[in-house]
């Protein structure tokens, strides 16, 4: 759940709870006000009655017979029955009453029971007043107050949403920038200063952290590049010296020749490794321009031409399924190197006498280039990591003692990344591995 | 044999590359001094065609490095600068020849042959090893004056071994001189073996035996005891 929604939701829930409590409070407040008013009213009637009887005692009988005091008020006068002490006032709310016409009314009434003394005779007097009319008023008040509150909550919700969005905007900007960072070289974004203290603290911390990561990443890439370059010269000197020893092979014993040969081989291999690393770091340091127009099938034909020697000797059949031309913008030297590596890999792993399928496919905007061999395939545990540096399979194909470091496919990946292409590898169910570049 | 073209004009690179491929060279090219110096540091070239005016530096600096670390490499300077001073400077620094742009490709070809002749001390564009004669200016191998049918790769292998007569050539060096450094060596060495088998078969059929010896675990050596 997003932060602003969470704040908004908790805010709303809290307001609703407060609203409910307020409603209950208001209900009791209004009720007690209404009953207080009713009781005052009944007491007033009692006082009026006592005053009237004081003037004329005989009117008691008339009042008793009439039974009605006003439009919603009734009176019952009985001889004293001891329900209340003399001069006590007892208030109660009842829901059924027998009115003077002996009809039963199911309405809420407020009853005042009291006892008065008329000429030394005690009478129990019950005064009734209908609550309904008062309740109506109280309900109206309650409802209008509650409706007002509800509208207020609704408005608050909408306003809150708006204000929260505004207030949290810089925070969300930071979050969405972070979400889009996938690679340390993307860390060149800087988070702006805002008017919110906490977000400022966050942004500044992020800025300084990203700066550190970026610069150490740059340093690392630069170091690999420099180290690879610096290694090349001494390596080629070692190689030359070994070659010089081999030149005068006649005067040497077998062991020395073999040792010198090994030195040369190793030096050559090391300088290739350095070269591959240098190429990868040059690509990652973005030292190539990507503005050439390239046609993939042309380059592929070219690569096949260069590798024809190997295809011939391994008696491989090439199946070309170039369904469509793929025109892209990029660096032809790098694209060529990528295709070269993929095709070379296929030739290396496919057994003698089998075939290699080169394919281009286009589906609207999406186009891909793939090379499929008939080799043993890529072990499943390596499928995800074949493009990583120095990742190689332990699977030896017949005739090839493959212990060269696996930089070929990682070069392919670096080149694809630079061009914003995607590369993937998959095994075919029957046999062989397929390496694809998606443009 | 391997050649490097250092030149910033892609169209000229194409022409030069074509010419060198016809001469059975394995060709790398660099449009920038930076890349050229990477390549020179890592690889062993027999010939470098060097343009002095590069966008990111002076080719003369590269020439100094080449002559310091790779004395064997032949360098032909190609440049638009026709000034005598540059020419003298380049030659003083050890370049083997100098060509001013524009030049016909035929002239470049002739200069390459001349430089290679000087480098490997061969006369008549022909290397001789016993009964075998190999033309360096075009793909032709003669055994006792009878032409021997060889493939391009076989020609390249034989040429390299004959140019380095009586020297042990490691298989990896041989592979590199034919296919360049891009090829995976564990992979190409097997191919060297099968090509060598074919060459020996052809030489044996033509009556030449034991010309190329295997130095066990190292590589090959082409021996000739004749003195001319």
Q: Which chain A residue's Cα is nearest to B31?
A: A333
Rounded CA-CA distance B24/B183 in Å is 17
Q: Are A363 and A343 in contact (CB under 8 A)?
A: no
Query: In angstroms, what separates the C-alpha of A168 from chain B's closest C-alpha?
Result: 49
Rounded CA-CA distance B133/A351 in Å is 37
- Could you give the maximum distance between any two Cα atoms of chain B, in Å? 55
**Domain termination site, one of A136, A156, A178:** A136
**Domain termination site, one of B63, B89, B120:** B120
Q: Which two tokens stand for residue B129?
A: 């090893």
Nearest to A258 among B181, B184, B217 (CB): B217
pLDDT at B4: 93
CATH code at A298? 3.30.565.10
Pair A201, A236 in one domain: yes
Segment B95-128, tens digit of pLDDT: 888 887 777 888 888 888 888 888 887 777 788 8
Rounded CA-CA distance A134/A150 in Å is 24
Query: In angstroms, what separates the C-alpha of B83 from chain A's closest C-alpha?
Result: 32
- Kindly report whether the peptide bond that precedes residue A102 is cis, defined as omega within 30 degrees of 0: no
Nearest to A91 by CA among A26, A41, A146: A41
pLDDT category at A216 given cuts 50, 70, 90 is: confident
Domain-embedded: residue B95: yes
Segment A394-426, tens digit of pLDDT: 444 433 344 455 677 888 888 888 888 888 888
Domain-embedded: residue B42: yes
| Chain B residues touching A274 at Cβ < 8 A | 42
Query: Best residue in B42, B65, B164, B225 to probe A by mutation, most A CBs within 10 Å?
Result: B42
| Exposure string for A123-134, b = 16+ CB within 10 A, e = fewer | bbbbbbbbbeeb
Q: Which chain B residue's Cα is nearest to A278?
A: B38
**Domain termination site, one of B57, B90, B120:** B120
Q: Which two tokens stand for residue B8?
A: 């910033």
CATH code at B141? 1.10.10.10
* Continuous segment of H or E residues that includes residue A104: strand A104-105
Rounded CA-CA distance A192/A174 in Å is 9
Host domain of residue B68: 2-120
**Domain termination site, one of A232, A256, A284:** A284
Cβ contact B167–A269 (<8 Å):
no
Nearest to A131 by CA among A215, A218, A39: A39
Query: In angstroms, what separates the C-alpha of B100 from chain A's closest C-alpha?
Result: 27
Segment A136-182, tens digit of pLDDT: 887 888 889 889 988 988 898 899 889 988 888 888 888 888 888 76
Pair A232, A312 in one domain: no
Domain-embedded: residue A233: yes
Pair B49, B18 in one domain: yes
Q: Which two tokens stand for residue A48?
A: 């009026």
Pair A222, A267 in one domain: yes
Host domain of residue A426: 292-438
Pair B76, B134 in one domain: no
Nearest to B222 by CA among B173, B167, B177: B167
Pair B23, B39 in one domain: yes
Give me the number of domains chain B comprises.
Answer: 2
Query: Best residue in A265, A281, A338, A348 to probe B by mutation, most B CBs within 10 Å?
Result: A265
Give me the number of domains chain A comprises.
Answer: 3
Q: Are A359 and A321 in contact (CB under 8 A)?
A: yes
**Domain termination site, one of A92, A116, A136:** A136
Domain-embedded: residue B227: no
**What number of residues does chain B have?**
228
Average pLDDT rounded to a whole number, residues B128-137: 83
Nearest to A359 by CA among A321, A328, A405: A321
Nearest to A19 by CA among A152, A162, A155: A152
Q: Are A404 and B185 in contact (CB under 8 A)?
A: yes
Pair A35, A92 in one domain: yes
Domain-embedded: residue B204: yes
Segment B41-100, tens digit of pLDDT: 878 888 999 988 788 888 888 888 888 888 888 999 887 766 677 777 888 888 888 887
Pair A299, A433 in one domain: yes
Pair A230, A298 in one domain: no
| Chain A residues touching B190 at Cβ < 8 A | 399-400
Rounded CA-CA distance B183/A408 in Å is 10
Pair A207, A302 in one domain: no
Nearest to B167 among A247, A309, A347 (CB): A247
Mean pLDDT is lowest, of A91-105, A239-253, B51-65, B122-136, for A91-105
CATH code at A232? 1.10.287
Q: Are B182 and A337 in contact (CB under 8 A)?
A: yes
Pair B137, B160 in one domain: yes
Domain-embedded: residue B228: no
């Amino acid at each position: 759940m997003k932060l602003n929604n969470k704040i908004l939701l908790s805010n709303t829930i809290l307001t609703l709870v407060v609203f409910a409590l307020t409603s209950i409070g208001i209900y009791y407040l209004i009720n007690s006000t209404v009953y207080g008013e009713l009781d005052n009213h009944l007491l007033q009637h009692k006082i009026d009655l006592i005053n009237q009887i004081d003037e004329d005692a005989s009117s008691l009988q008339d009042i008793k017979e009439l039974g009605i005091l006003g439009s919603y008020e009734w009176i019952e006068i009985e001889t004293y029955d001891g329900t209340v002490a003399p001069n006590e006032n007892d208030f109660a709310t009842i829901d059924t009453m027998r009115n003077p016409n002996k009809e039963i009314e199911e309405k809420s009434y407020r009853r005042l029971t009291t006892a008065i003394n008329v000429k030394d005779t005690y009478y129990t007097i019950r005064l009734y007043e209908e609550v309904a009319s008062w309740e109506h008023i109280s309900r109206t008040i309650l409802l209008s107050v509650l409706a007002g509150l509800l509208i207020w909550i609704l408005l608050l919700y909408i306003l809150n949403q708006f204000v929260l969005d505004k207030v949290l905007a810089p925070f969300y900007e930071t979050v969405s920038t972070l979400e889009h960072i996938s690679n340390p070289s993307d860390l060149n974004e800087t988070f702006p200063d805002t008017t919110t203290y906490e977000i400022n603290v966050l942004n500044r911390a992020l800025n300084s952290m990203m700066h550190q990561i970026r610069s150490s990443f740059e340093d690392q890439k630069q170091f690999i590049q420099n180290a690879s370059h610096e290694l090349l010269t001494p390596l080629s000197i070692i190689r030359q010296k070994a070659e010089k020893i081999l030149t005068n092979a006649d005067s040497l014993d077998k062991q020395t020749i073999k040792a010198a040969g090994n030195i040369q081989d190793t030096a050559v291999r090391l300088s290739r490794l350095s070269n591959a690393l240098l190429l990868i770091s040059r690509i990652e340091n973005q030292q190539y321009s990507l503005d050439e127009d390239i046609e993939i099938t042309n380059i592929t034909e070219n690569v096949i031409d260069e590798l024809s020697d190997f295809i011939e000797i391994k008696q491989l059949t090439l199946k070309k399924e170039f369904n469509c031309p793929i025109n892209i913008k990029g660096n032809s030297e790098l694209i060529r190197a990528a295709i070269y590596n993929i095709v070379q890999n296929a030739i290396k792993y496919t057994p003698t006498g089998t075939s290699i399928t080169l394919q281009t496919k286009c589906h609207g905007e999406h186009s891909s280039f793939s090379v499929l061999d008939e080799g043993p395939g890529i072990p499943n545990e390596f499928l995800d990591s074949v493009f990583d540096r120095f990742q190689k399979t332990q699977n030896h194909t017949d005739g090839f003692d493959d212990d060269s470091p696996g930089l070929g496919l990682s070069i392919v990946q670096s080149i694809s990344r630079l061009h914003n292409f995607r590369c993937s590898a998959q095994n075919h169910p029957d046999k062989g591995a397929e390496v694809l570049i998606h443009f | 044999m391997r050649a490097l073209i250092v030149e910033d004009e892609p169209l000229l690179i194409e022409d030069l590359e074509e010419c060198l491929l016809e001469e059975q060279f394995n060709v790398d090219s660099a449009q920038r001094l930076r890349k050229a110096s990477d390549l020179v540091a890592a690889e062993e070239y027999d010939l470098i065609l060097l343009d002095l005016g590069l966008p990111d530096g002076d080719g003369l600096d590269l020439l100094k490095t080449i002559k310091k670390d790779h004395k064997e490499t032949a360098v032909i300077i190609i440049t638009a600068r026709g000034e005598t001073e540059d020419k003298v400077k380049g030659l003083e620094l050890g370049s083997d020849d100098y060509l001013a742009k524009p030049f016909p490709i035929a002239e470049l070809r002739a200069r390459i042959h001349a430089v290679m002749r000087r480098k490997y001390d061969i006369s008549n564009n022909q290397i001789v090893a016993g009964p075998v004669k190999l033309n360096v200016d075009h793909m032709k191998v003669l055994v006792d004056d009878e032409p021997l049918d060889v493939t391009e790769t076989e020609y390249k292998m034989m040429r390299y071994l004959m140019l380095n007569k009586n020297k042990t050539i490691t298989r990896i060096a041989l592979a590199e001189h034919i296919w360049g450094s891009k090829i995976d060596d564990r992979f190409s060495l097997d191919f060297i073996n099968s090509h060598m088998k074919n060459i020996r078969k052809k030489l044996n059929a033509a009556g030449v035996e034991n010309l190329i010896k295997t130095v066990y675990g190292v590589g090959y050596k082409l021996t000739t005891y004749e003195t001319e």
